[in-house]
Amino acid sequence: MKEIVVVSGKGGAGKSTITAGLSYFLKENDILVDADVDAPNLKILLEPELIREEDFYSGKQFKIEQDFCIMCGRCYQECSFEAIEIVNLNYVIDDVACEGCGLCQFLCPVNAISVSDKLTGKKYVSKTKYGFNMVHALLNPSEENSGKLVAEIKKIAKNLAKEQNSSTIIVDGPPGIGCSTISAISGSDILLLVAESTISGLHDMERLIELTKNFKVKRKGFINKFGLNHSIDEKLVNLFESKEIEIVGYLTYSQNIPQYLKKRVNLPEHIDGYKKLFEGLYNRLMEAVG
Ligand code: SF4
Ligand code: SF4
């Protein structure tokens, strides 16, 4: 079983469009993972039907039990994050501001503060319109630990792949170079680094190449919106060459692409030219991964 992870140093570089295009060539028993747990969007193109869902717990949730609180105000005075406020003459904890340090619970003289695991998101397995299963997730707004959630859905994907005898897992990585991206990359066989032909695209690709250089994983390059800025095109080609990263594909800039995506068209599905492009890209990645 081989795992391909598609990453870009930033959001909006076209990573999900490229992943959706590649997924068109997966077999029914293969697996797709949408690891952009803050803003998953592969479902827009792949129209998945939910098979199962699980809760994701991360961190602790502290709560003042009003029946026991004697209103001494100690927690309110000592919380360094100003996460305790007075509402309707009661002390209450603001879940968004609370950092979960536990100091208030430690200080409370009457044990009026309870703690429980915090529900911060959901994990899903769905069947896509192409027949293969997709593992995805959604982290609640403002919650942390996206790296842990990515690790959990990758584990679900790997177990499912074993059950289904899959040969390939494709992962749509999170944008940026944070811990969720590191989590998506860990344990993979090959990375497709998707760069956008813009100044910020070049800058973010430099950072992503730096981040990924110490992972023992093969790297291939891809340039999206090629032709949008000839000077940046050239710099991206030189950047990949200087780091000995082979460029395995280009998607030429076209004003039609946003229109197709707006209509929820997966590029290789209805357009012959794109079908050939993505088929070639898929085959080159398969050859590279061995
Ligand atoms: S757990 Fe820490 S951050 Fe949260 S309310 Fe208590 S003292 Fe403040
Ligand atoms: S420390 Fe305990 S008793 Fe005092 S205000 Fe806070 S919750 Fe209430």
Q: What is the CATH number of the domain that holds 48?
A: 3.40.50.300
Assess whether 102 and 16 both reside in one domain.
Answer: no
Helix (H, G, I), strand (E, B) or coil at 218: strand
Cα–ligand 1 centroid distance for 73 (angstroms): 13
DSSP state of 124: E
Residue 117 included in any domain = no
Cβ of residue 75 lying under 6 Å from some atom of ligand 2 = yes
Domain span at residue 78 reads 66-111
Residue 12 included in any domain = yes
Cα–ligand 1 centroid distance for 191 (angstroms): 40
pLDDT per residue, tens digit, the chain (290 aa), is 999 999 998 788 999 999 999 999 999 999 999 999 998 999 999 999 999 999 999 989 999 999 999 999 999 999 999 999 999 999 999 998 999 999 999 999 999 999 999 999 999 999 999 999 999 999 998 787 789 999 999 999 999 999 999 999 999 999 889 899 999 999 999 999 999 999 999 999 999 999 999 898 999 999 999 999 999 999 999 999 999 999 999 999 999 999 999 999 999 998 889 999 999 999 999 999 98
Assess whether 30 and 78 both reside in one domain.
Answer: no
Cβ of residue 94 lying under 6 Å from some atom of ligand 1 = no
Assess whether 33 and 164 both reside in one domain.
Answer: yes
Cβ of residue 84 lying under 6 Å from some atom of ligand 2 = no
Helix (H, G, I), strand (E, B) or coil at 126: strand
Helix (H, G, I), strand (E, B) or coil at 231: helix
Contact 6, 19 (CB under 8 A): yes
Q: Determine the Cα–Cα distance for residues 103 and 110; give it in Å rounded to an integer.
A: 14
Assess whether 185 and 268 both reside in one domain.
Answer: yes
Cβ of residue 64 lying under 6 Å from some atom of ligand 1 = no
Assess whether 188 and 80 both reside in one domain.
Answer: no
Cα–ligand 2 centroid distance for 70 (angstroms): 6
Query: Which ligand places an atom closest to the C-alpha of 113?
Result: 2
Contact 125, 156 (CB under 8 A): yes
Assess whether 271 and 211 both reside in one domain.
Answer: yes
CA angle 222–224–230, rounded 5-degree value: 105
Contacting residues for 28 by C-beta, under 8 A, at least 6 apart: 130, 131, 132
| pTM: predicted TM-score of the whole model, two decimal places | 0.88
Q: Among 230, 211, 227, which residue's Cα sits nearest to residue 219? A: 211
DSSP state of 204: H
Q: Determine the Cα–Cα distance for residues 290 and 189; give it in Å rounded to an integer.
A: 10
Q: Which atom of ligand 2 is nearest to the CA of 64?
A: 7
Cβ of residue 76 lying under 6 Å from some atom of ligand 1 = no
Assess whether 221 and 97 both reside in one domain.
Answer: no
Cβ of residue 83 lying under 6 Å from some atom of ligand 1 = yes
Residue 116 included in any domain = no
Helix (H, G, I), strand (E, B) or coil at 125: strand
Q: Determine the Cα–Cα distance for residues 93 and 63; give it in Å rounded to an integer.
A: 6
Q: Determine the Cα–Cα distance for residues 107 and 130; give it in Å rounded to an integer.
A: 56
Q: DSSP alpha helices (H): ranges in 1-145?
A: 15-23, 42-46, 74-78, 103-107
Q: Among 165, 190, 164, which residue's Cα sits nearest to residue 290? A: 190
Cα–ligand 1 centroid distance for 108 (angstroms): 11
Residue 30 included in any domain = yes
Assess whether 23 and 149 both reside in one domain.
Answer: yes
Number of domains into which the chain is organized? 2
Q: Determine the Cα–Cα distance for residues 281 and 290; give it in Å rounded to an integer.
A: 14
β-pairing, 190-196 vs 218-226, is: parallel
Q: Determine the Cα–Cα distance for residues 228 and 243; give it in Å rounded to an integer.
A: 23
Assess whether 24 and 138 both reside in one domain.
Answer: yes
Percent helix / strand / coil, the chain, rounded to 5: 35, 30, 35
